[in-house]
Amino acid sequence: MKVFITGGTGFIGRHLLRRMAQTKHEFYCLARKTSDTRELKDLGAHIVMGDVTDRSSLREGMRGCEWVFNLANVYSWWEPDKDIYRRVNVEGTRNVMGCALEAGVSKVVHVSTMGIWGKPNELPFKEETPVGPVRESEYCRTKYEGDQIAWQYYREKGLPLVMVYPCAVLGSGDPKMTGSSIKLFIERRMPARIFDDKILTYVHVKNVAEAILRAAEKTDNLGEKYIIGNSRLSFSDFYALVSDVSGVASPKLRLPDSLVILNAHVLTCLADIINRPPLWGMSIDAIREMQHGMIADGSKAERELGLFYTPIRKAIEEEVIDMR
């Protein structure tokens, strides 16, 4: 099967390509000129230069392909150029879905996020749970808007769509917020604990890669949604696990929630002025998302895709080893 993949140079994307290299599928990866594609080439990927804002590069990459995996997105909690979220997560998604429809592919697997549910009334929330009315970050707001465009293409134009929603992703090579917080922790640069009782749902990055491939390979599942993740930990339990793996004690100080929010506002304002990310990753978007947590139910992927979840301790062990 010929597969076109966007976002192959990202955290999940690289693990997906390592998994794809174990199959007989032929894969074409969209990459910007500034991206490091050496590993992708070593894995056998055909590189197509461009990005999701350039429809001509999408058309070129999809030519002759039967599947499209769309992983490209701006996943961050602060950007100096605020419009980049909309350009990539909304308009980029529109471009990918439109070009996939034109190319006549047999399946599109779009990678979203559990964050699009916001604050739903049902916990743990499932695929059929109505989303909450509010999303606390520009990342989640624009991902949700991009998802709605994809579903519109499915309902109104017959796009052969399947969507996966990873929970908080952990594993080797994690450059994002959770990986950065683990690094701060084991280097003893985390000044205090926050939101001890708030719960997130986690997943090993290799499970996400496997789920994407299985969602594509499964027959008769167009229009399906799959939440990917099953390990629910409070922040207190999460850092206790990091402490147990790394041998580094958790910070003794715990900041009150009101002070956390105040600091996030101040640090975000300062970041906007000096054009550099907020100290300790404490953007107001990140803190608002952490404040209410995310309790998701990823059991459908186990039942329907035959997915086996890796214990999240394994992912933390891999991250700690990477950082030492």
pLDDT of residue 176: 83
pLDDT of residue 324: 74
pLDDT of residue 21: 96
Cβ pair 232, 295 in contact under 8 A: yes
pLDDT of residue 234: 96
Domains in the chain: ranges and CATH = 2-170+204-228+294-310 (3.40.50.720)
Tokens standing for 133? 């009315």
Sheet with 225-228: list strands edge to edge: 46-49, 26-31, 2-6, 67-70, 107-111, 161-166, 225-228
Q: Which of 181, 255, 8, 143 is nearest to 151 (CA)?
A: 143
Q: At what angle do helices 11-20 and 205-217 cross, to 10 degrees?
A: 60
Tokens standing for 31? 């990459």
The C-alpha atoms of residue 276 and residue 283 are separated, in whole angstroms, by 11
pLDDT of residue 69: 98
Other CB atoms within 10 Å distance of the CB of residue 219: 6
The C-alpha atoms of residue 227 and residue 233 are separated, in whole angstroms, by 17
Q: Has this prediction a pTM greater than 0.75?
A: yes
pLDDT tens digits, 72-115: 999 999 999 999 999 999 999 999 999 999 999 999 999 999 99
Low-confidence ranges of the chain (pLDDT < 50): none
